[in-house]
Chains A and B, each alone.
Chain A
């Protein structure tokens, strides 16, 4: 039975030796691979073949890894289920009637099914952590600026990071070590990742670790998810961690702020898809604007159109102050709340997803319901912080993920805490 985890299966050999020699990696299809098509899950880029490698792909190859293919994803990363892909949905290997989560659903499914040792995903509002949680694997969203975005097809630049998915915390940390660090091609990368190690932090030692639990991220969750989450916290406490509740009032506005900012950035980023430099050959007719509009009607799916239009609306005259400016205020407010909470705690813990994996087709007709499922993951992107999703157990036979959020560039602490959950 095929899970449809890959859009393109293609072997790209890496160097003969290196820390990932003999290991296989699946790469999300919005990360450029020289000579191998990179579709972003969109008909718009069905035949697009990048003339260069993304920095992370170059680093994988130098580390000796073998790339085994390009994984399925929600179109341009816009979705929580991998069902908005123009190439059809990916199935969850744990239960094939369910979605793998998204948008990096193909990457998580490939790792969970053993079709690759590791995978790269991208996380703009939870797109690594959600599928990691739904498929029962580990996923890390790095601090903004830790990993180069050069060669990543942009959706919302100020929010997204490339990160690892793997069966275990230590392996995810291994992959993070390879891809992290400054890059002259991405001016938003920082020095902090230069010689950092992460895998050696996976020692399971949580003695005295202060864990804050934001009540707002637990209250709205499914009871079965909360029960699994609380069992996992009790286990950490038994290992010596200290648990306390915290309150982050700004989190109640995070989903709104996230979608306004992400859609606004998307409306600008996706303006480049005009069918001239790349894009499908169509029989569009008329002047530049008319042709442009026809190519985009054909090339983009519903969710992408929705986000471009809402982003255009949020930035348009008369609405900019009401939506975009207020969303930036909410982002600053949220950062302040996280700073305060992380002054009293080493990590913050919550369920990664407030729900169990959806049935295939369940959430497609109601976009707002789908956006609300991102409530626990989007605050982390708005605050530029690192977070990991680690399997916490199962409810009704389906995986539940525990999310651990750390301070900026403190990936070692979330790796350490997560390794005690396994």
Chain B
């Protein structure tokens, strides 16, 4: 079994971090599946450290003004808008 046992409490904690509500059935099912999957991931423990140097350079461009989406286009898929803004729930 995994060195990192997963219980329902841990699944709920991670779901909270990830902002996904789960029902009780999902929590129980995921706890069992996660234990299996994380036990399998334990095989990464014996991977050696390898010197890895990427032969890449940053790609830069001038910061000049270009055409972008119009406000109307940007808002088109939003479930709720108001006065040209996205409308979300209150923050607290």
Contact A276–B47 (Cβ < 8 Å): no
**Per-position binary interface string of chain A over residues 266-280, scored 1 when its CB falls under 8 Å from any chain B CB and 0 otherwise:** 010001001111111
A277 to B74, CA, bound (A): 8
Cβ of B18 within 8 Å of any chain A Cβ, yes or no, is yes
**Stretch of A87-95, A204-212, A322-330 at the chain-chain interface:** A322-330
Q: Given A296-B20, A306-B33, A309-B30, is A287 in contact with B79 using a C-beta cutoff of 8 Å?
A: no
Partner of B4, one of A52, A312, A319: A319
Count of residues in A whose CB is under 8 Å from the partner chain: 63
Contact B18–A309 (Cβ < 8 Å): yes
Partner of A287, one of B44, B59, B86, B90: B90
Partner of B15, one of A291, A309, A333: A309
Contact B15–A276 (Cβ < 8 Å): no
| B66 and chain A: residue at smallest CB distance | A184
**Stretch of A169-177, A226-234, A252-260 at the chain-chain interface:** A252-260
Contact B43–A312 (Cβ < 8 Å): no
Q: Given A256-B41, A275-B79, A367-B37, is A316 in contact with B14 using a C-beta cutoff of 8 Å?
A: yes
Partner of A289, one of B4, B19, B52, B73: B19
Chain A residues, Cβ within 8 Å of B92: 287-288
Interface residues on B, range: 35 or more
**Per-position binary interface string of chain B over residues 34-49, scored 1 when its CB falls under 8 Å from any chain A CB and 0 otherwise:** 1011101101110111
Partner of A253, one of B43, B59, B89: B43
Cβ of B83 within 8 Å of any chain A Cβ, yes or no, is no
Q: Given A267-B18, A305-B22, A312-B17, is A280 in contact with B79 using a C-beta cutoff of 8 Å?
A: yes
List CB contacts (< 8 Å) of B33-84 with chain A: 33-34, 36-38, 40-41, 43-45, 47-52, 59, 61, 69, 73-74, 76-80
Partner of B20, one of A48, A52, A277, A305: A305
Cβ of B1 within 8 Å of any chain A Cβ, yes or no, is no
Q: Given A306-B30, A323-B44, A367-B33, is A51 in contact with B76 using a C-beta cutoff of 8 Å?
A: yes
Q: Given A308-B20, A333-B48, is A277 in contact with B86 using a C-beta cutoff of 8 Å?
A: yes
Chain B residues, Cβ within 8 Å of A288: 88-92
Chain A residues, Cβ within 8 Å of B48: 329, 333
Distance of B78 from chain A, by nearest CB (Å): 6
**Per-position binary interface string of chain A over residues 217-228, scored 1 when its CB falls under 8 Å from any chain B CB and 0 otherwise:** 000000000000
Contact A310–B37 (Cβ < 8 Å): yes
Contact B21–A333 (Cβ < 8 Å): no
Cβ of A368 within 8 Å of any chain B Cβ, yes or no, is yes
Chain A residues, Cβ within 8 Å of B47: 250, 253, 257, 326, 329-330, 333
**Per-position binary interface string of chain A over residues 44-84, scored 1 when its CB falls under 8 Å from any chain B CB and 0 otherwise:** 00011101100000000000000000000000000000000
Partner of B78, one of A277, A287, A332, A367: A277
Contact B44–A326 (Cβ < 8 Å): yes
Partner of B33, one of A259, A290, A336, A368: A368
Apart from the given pairs A260-B44, A287-B91, A296-B18, 4 other A-B contacts in the complex at a CB distance below 8 Å: A288-B88, A309-B15, A309-B20, A316-B17
A-B contact pairs, 13 of them (CB 8 A): A51-B76, A250-B47, A259-B37, A276-B88, A279-B79, A284-B89, A296-B18, A297-B20, A312-B14, A313-B34, A322-B4, A329-B44, A371-B37
5 smallest CB-CB distances across A and B, nearest first, come from A332-B52, A278-B77, A297-B21, A51-B73, A326-B44
